[in-house]
Amino acid sequence: MKIKEIIVVEGKDDTVKIKLAVDADTIETKGSAINDDIIEQIRHAQKTRGVIILTDPDYPGQRIRSLIADRVPGCRHAFLPKKEAIEKHGRGVGIEHASVDSIRKALSDAQYMNEEAAEQITKEDLISAGLIGGPSAASRREALGQKLKIGYVNGKQLHKRLLMFQITQERFAEALAEVLEEEQS
Three-class secondary structure assignment of 20-50: HHCECCEEECCCCCCCHHHHHHHHHHHHHCC
pTM: 0.72
Same-domain check for residues 95 and 61: yes
Mean pLDDT of the chain: 89
Q: How many domains does one find in the chain?
A: 2
Name, in order, each residue with C-beta under 8 angstroms of 168's C-beta and a sequence gap of 6 or more: 120
Residue 152 has pLDDT above 60, yes or no: yes
Do 138 and 92 share a structural domain?
Answer: no
Residue 119 pLDDT more than 70?
A: no
Provide the pLDDT for residue 18.
97
* Structure confidence by residue, pLDDT tens digits, 41-66: 999 999 999 999 999 998 899 889 98
β-pairing verdict for 76-77 and 51-53: parallel
Look up the domain containing 77 and give its range.
6-112
- Distance (Å, whole) CA 57 – CA 77: 12
Amino acid making up residue 3: I
Q: Is residue 1 part of a domain?
A: no
Crossing angle of helices 137-148 and 169-184, in 10° steps, is: 120
